[in-house]
Amino acid sequence: VLNVSDYWPEYLYVSGTVKRSSLLYRIFESLTNLTQRSAARIVILWPGLRQGIEARIKSPPPVELIYNAVDLDKFHPERDAGDFRARHNLGTARLVTFLGVLGPHIDLDTMLVAAARFKDRDDVRFLFVGAGAQKAALDAALATPDLAHCVAIDWLDSAEIPEFWAASHVHFWALHHNELDKMRFQAKLYEALASGTPTVIGVDGLMSEVLGRTETGITVPPGDADSLAHEIARLLDDAEHHQRISRNARAYAEANFNVQTAVDAYETVLQSVAQ
């Protein structure tokens, strides 16, 4: 049973990492096709992954959709974040945060333009957590006066992640526009929703549809720094709006991302293959 959790190998050329005609890509694609074609069953984490598999493989094995899950006891809105703030010297300002890999898929320029709009607000601080290809560019940008209200730290220990979400008043990120990102449901959304942390994302597609339909987060068009900043400000300044999004997010996670539901679904697949 093969678990497919992302758009590999297609994302390598869509993100501009390698050319589709390169030897490296063709080797990777051949290995991916071999493993997927040889599987008794394939499990995917969101619907769009099925299209990539079917485009590369004729008559693939049966494909099952099982959404990911999140520990609803570990990630929840009532968790205290005081120790986390103290350890990282974050003060008392409300935090607008980013957590993740700073890879080529992230539209860092749009995020920084949006963050700079809050340079004169003493009640807001931006926190970037993570590393990746754009980390040096982030560090250089944060050394400028317009982003003096922003701070970056490297990866956190996994034990700190629930506290990170509890400390986050708003979480944000922006993605470059491409067809694969339109079909993704990024993993950190599970934790954000369970923690009741409102998110603002520069993206269109699956995440935009789900968050908009359920009122569990906000999305803006890719590359639109003005709208990104506007929606962050609205969540900071409209307490009722923030609370509504937070409640909806937690309720959606409880209804859709329960660990036991995912475990039962995987067990059904494994039993079917074993029999």
pLDDT value at position 254? 95
pLDDT tens sequence across 170-198: 999 999 887 777 777 788 999 999 999 99
User: Contact, 102 vs 108, CB < 8 A?
Assistant: yes
Q: What are the C-alpha distances in Å from 213 to residues 107, 206, 245, 249, 254?
A: 24, 11, 12, 12, 17
| Structure tokens given for 238 | 């409209």
pLDDT value at position 142? 96
Of the two residues 102 and 51, the one the predictor is more confident about is: 102
Of 26-35, 50-59, 71-80, the one with minimum mean pLDDT is: 50-59
Mean model confidence pLDDT for the chain: 93
Q: Are strands 94-99 and 63-65 parallel, antiparallel or unpaired?
A: unpaired
Q: Is the pLDDT of residue 66 over 80?
A: yes
pLDDT tens sequence across 18-31: 898 999 999 999 99
